[in-house]
Each structure stands twice: as C-alpha cells, then as structure tokens.
Amino acid sequence: MTPIPLVDLAVQHRQVADEVAAGWAEVLATTAFVGGPAVSAFEAEFAAYVGAKHCIGVGNGTDALELALRAAGVGAGDECVLPANTFIATAEAVVRAGARPVLVDCDEDTGLLDVDAISGVLTDRTAAILPVHLYGQPAPVERILPLARAIGAVVVEDAAQAQGARRHGAGAGTLGDLAGTSFYPGKNLGAYGDGGAVLTGDAELAEQVRLLSAHGSPRKYEHEIVGFNSRLDTLQAVVLSAKLKRLEGWNEARRAAAARYDDLLAGLPQVTTPVVLPGNEPVWHLYVVRVPDRDRVLAHLRDHGIGAGVHYPTPVHRTEAFAWLGYAEGDFPVAEKVGGELLSLPLYAEITPEQQERVVGTLAEALR
Ligand SMILES: *Cc1c(COP(=O)(O)O)cnc(C)c1O
C-alpha cells in the first residue's frame, strides 16, 4: 500500500515546477539574490490577495511576529496575551521581542483562543494580544479588538496557518493591527525553504517593520535604528508568486476535502470532527479531529502508512522551554485535555477521495 503523507509537497511542486525553474533562471542570470523586483512583486501580490495595505517579506514566520511586535513598540516589561495551545513560535516571538507571554485557554470546540478568558489576564503592562488563526480558521478578532483598544494594546494576528482564510469576508491578516505569517514549506502557501511576511494597514508600522528587517536602513549605509537581517529571499519570492496564483484553487480543494472527511467521519461517533466558527471561511491548514486513546490510534494509523500527526501535543506552559513562566498543570485545562486527544488527518489540495476513504477506514479499524 502506498503511504498517505500528512502533506504532499511533491505533487504540489509538479504544478509550478516549470514556472519556478524559469523564474529562478532569471534570478540566477541577473544575480539579484536579495531584494529586487521579484520580492516587491510578491509583496504587492500577496497584499492584494489578502486585502492588506502593506506586506513586508521577512525571513520566516517567527521573525514576522517578532518584528510586528517590535514595530508596535512592544518590548521589555510588557506582557503579551496568547493562547496556550499554539505552535511554540507565537510564544518565542514574544520573548524575543523582550516581552513576557501571558497565556489563556482555548475553546474546546474550535481550538481558538478563549476570548472570554482575556479580560481576566489583562494588566497595565499588557501591550499586545496575539490571536492565533489555528488550523486555518480565523479567531474572532472583532471581539478582541475592543479589549485591546480599551487598554491601548495592539492586536497582532498569528496568521501563519491561515493564508486565504476569511472572517466575515475579510482576509486573515487584515483583522487586527498587524499580522505575521509564515511561508514554511508545509503551510498553505509554502516556499522552498523559510519565509514569512508582516501585514498591516498602517503605513508607519509598515515602514518600521521594513527598517527593522533590513539593518534599520532606509537607504544603503544609512542606519536609523539598530535592526535585524530578516528578509524574504528572492528565490523564495519567485516560488511564492507562482504558488499564489493557485492558492485560491488549492484552498477550495482543501475545503472540499474537509467536507468529505466530515461526511466520512459522520459514521464514527467516537471521533469529534472540527467545528467552524460562524462567519469563518477556513482554509484547512490542518484537519484536526479528537479521538479517545489518541496515542494508540496514531500508532495504528502510522503502522498502516497513514501520515497522521498531532498539532500540538504539549501546550506552551507544559514545555520545558516555557517552564519559567511558572504555570502549573491544570492552569489551562481545556488545552491540556484536548492536547491528549488531537489527531491531524492527512489533508492537502490533491488528496483523493480514495485516499480519504482509506484514512477513515484505517481510523475506524483503530477505534474498533
Ligand atoms: C509555522 C508557524 C509559525 C512560525 O513560522 P516559521 O516560519 O516556522 O518561523 C508561527 N505560528 C504558527 C501558528 C505556525 O504554525
């Protein structure tokens, strides 16, 4: 039996291979490896696609979040609110900006941060709230903005998993003050290496991000502030432009595949299928179900060639890296409970109905 991977990057590459090869040949011929027209073109295309005024390409998604926070003036002594159940990078970006992560629990049905828990952790040091558009569906940012506005904090969206997702018609990445996104290869819009971008509607914040990302330098050898080197590679911009043209179609195919899983799994009462928040148009970066006895089920799937995964097994406060935050087991009971039940099923634009039937058939076997 051919294995079914969690994501299939090879099948996606075949669709853009010629275009990427031609674009790369041009970059190689001109030896313009950093910056140049390919990067500005992609930034403009991605901004237009998402509906953001400004897009600044950076080195990766973690840098994008850090630079977004720094551009907004977040730093030492500040606190930033984020969900306990996210990829570790959200918390890392806060620490790297010099601030302290303050965690909140998540909603059991959607996995999105629990907005009702936010007011309880706000202090006079809260400088930012970072909703994570987990698994590809936007968090209800419109409920978070008024909380942030009331205390002068900014909302920085972690849109790494949500390229093309919409909430009430607006693109993920345009819902808050700034957003960071990632073009890590496995993301819905993935480069052939690392990449990321900051999105914002505010020209001054955009300018600040650009300065920070390029040695604090508006013009060569003029340095206004101490910055970083975090730029989107020109070769990656070529890949991303080629893929962006197809992203809407790929996201549509992911939605169809997610709907097919919903149907196939309706016959398995032990499996809790994902819940979409009303108003959301998700892009299914991951299709995450909850099952009893998860580790045994996961092992069974893997033994049978199904590339299932867990996103994420350990909430931020239970990782070794963030033990110093001083949280205890039981502090975020929902994140801890679902962490033991989550199971990501293989999902990508090109997955076939037959492959999905095999995934669900094997899952049913494991649950028997
Ligand atoms: C991938 C990801 C990031 C970080 O992106 P990198 O490009 O790997 O640095 C941040 N947050 C979330 C939720 C992610 O999934």
Residue 179 lies in a domain: yes
Rounded to the nearest angstrom, the distance between the alpha carbon of 26 and the centre of ligand 1 is 30
**Cβ of 90 below 6 Å from ligand 1:** yes
**Cβ of 89 below 6 Å from ligand 1:** yes
Say whether both 279 and 331 belong to one domain. yes
What pLDDT does residue 217 have? 92
Atom of ligand 1 nearest to the CA of 187: 1
Say whether both 235 and 279 belong to one domain. no
**Cβ of 194 below 6 Å from ligand 1:** yes
Helix H or strand E encompassing 80? strand 79-83
In this structure, the dihedral spanned by the alpha carbons of residues 220, 221, 224 and 228, taken in order and rounded to 10 degrees, is: 80
Atom of ligand 1 nearest to the CA of 62: 9
Say whether both 262 and 306 belong to one domain. yes
Look at residues 241, 257, 277 and tell me which one is the last residue of a structural domain. Answer: 241
Say whether both 276 and 237 belong to one domain. no
Look at residues 241, 274, 295 and tell me which one is the last residue of a structural domain. Answer: 241
Q: Which amino acid residue places its CA nearest to atom 4 of ligand 1?
A: 61
**Cβ of 62 below 6 Å from ligand 1:** yes
Residue 184: cis peptide before it, omega within 30 degrees of 0: no
**Cβ of 315 below 6 Å from ligand 1:** no
Residue 184 phi/psi, 5-degree rounding, is -50, 145
CATH code of 283's domain: 3.90.1150.10
Q: Which amino acid residue places its CA nearest to atom 6 of ligand 1?
A: 61
CATH code of 36's domain: 3.40.640.10
Look at residues 196, 217, 241 and tell me which one is the last residue of a structural domain. Answer: 241
The residue among 230, 158, 238 whose CA lies nearest residue 199 is: 158
Catalytic residue among 53, 187, 243, 337: 187
User: Could you tell me which residues are beta bridge partners of residue 80?
Assistant: 101, 128
Contact 83, 132 (CB under 8 A): yes
Residue 322 lies in a domain: yes
Say whether both 326 and 229 belong to one domain. no
Say whether both 200 and 278 belong to one domain. no
Rounded to the nearest angstrom, the distance between the alpha carbon of 188 and the centre of ligand 1 is 12
> How far is it, in rounded angstroms, from Cα 171 to Cα 192?
24
Residue 316 lies in a domain: yes
Say whether both 265 and 198 belong to one domain. no
Q: Which amino acid residue places its CA nearest to atom 14 of ligand 1?
A: 160
Rounded to the nearest angstrom, the distance between the alpha carbon of 221 and the centre of ligand 1 is 31
Say whether both 163 and 188 belong to one domain. yes
Rounded to the nearest angstrom, the distance between the alpha carbon of 158 and the centre of ligand 1 is 8
Name the 3-class secondary structure at 356. helix
**Cβ of 161 below 6 Å from ligand 1:** yes
What pLDDT does residue 104 have? 98
Note down the domain range covering 220: 9-241
Residue 114 phi/psi, 5-degree rounding, is -80, 100
Helix H or strand E encompassing 287? strand 287-290
What pLDDT does residue 361 have? 98
Residue 292 lies in a domain: yes
> How far is it, in rounded angstroms, from Cα 235 to Cα 300?
40
Rounded to the nearest angstrom, the distance between the alpha carbon of 160 and the centre of ligand 1 is 5
Q: Which amino acid residue places its CA nearest to atom 7 of ligand 1?
A: 61
Rounded to the nearest angstrom, the distance between the alpha carbon of 285 and the centre of ligand 1 is 12
Rounded to the nearest angstrom, the distance between the alpha carbon of 190 and the centre of ligand 1 is 11
What pLDDT does residue 1 have? 80
Rounded to the nearest angstrom, the distance between the alpha carbon of 62 and the centre of ligand 1 is 6
Say whether both 254 and 107 belong to one domain. no
> How far is it, in rounded angstroms, from Cα 142 to Cα 254?
26
- 368 residues of the chain, pLDDT tens digit each: 899 999 999 999 999 999 999 999 999 999 999 999 999 999 999 999 999 999 999 999 999 999 999 999 999 999 999 999 999 999 999 999 999 999 999 999 999 999 999 999 999 999 999 999 999 999 999 999 999 999 999 999 999 999 999 999 999 999 999 999 999 999 999 999 999 999 999 999 999 999 999 999 989 899 999 999 999 999 999 999 999 999 999 999 999 999 999 999 999 999 999 999 999 999 999 999 999 999 999 999 999 999 999 999 999 999 999 999 999 999 999 999 999 999 999 999 999 999 999 999 999 999 99
**Cβ of 111 below 6 Å from ligand 1:** no
Is 187 known to be catalytic?
yes
Say whether both 231 and 284 belong to one domain. no
Q: Which amino acid residue places its CA nearest to atom 2 of ligand 1?
A: 160
> How far is it, in rounded angstroms, from Cα 147 to Cα 120?
11
Say whether both 317 and 223 belong to one domain. no
Residue 60 lies in a domain: yes
Atom of ligand 1 nearest to the CA of 63: 9
Atom of ligand 1 nearest to the CA of 93: 10
**Cβ of 87 below 6 Å from ligand 1:** yes
Which residue do the tokens 């973690």 mark?
62
C-alpha triplet 341, 350, 165: angle, nearest 5°:
65
User: Could you tell me which residues are beta bridge partners of residue 190?
Assistant: none
Contact 216, 201 (CB under 8 A): no
Q: b/e per residue, 198-210, with b = 16+ CB within 10 A?
A: bbbbbeebbebbb
> How far is it, in rounded angstroms, from Cα 230 to Cα 213?
5
Residue 108 lies in a domain: yes
Residue 355 CB neighbour total at 10 angstroms: 18
**Cβ of 280 below 6 Å from ligand 1:** no
> How far is it, in rounded angstroms, from Cα 150 to Cα 160?
27
What pLDDT does residue 91 have? 98
Outline where 220-293 has alpha helix (H). Answer: 234-265
Q: Which amino acid is at 16?
A: V
Q: How many domains does the chain have?
A: 2
Say whether both 228 and 331 belong to one domain. no
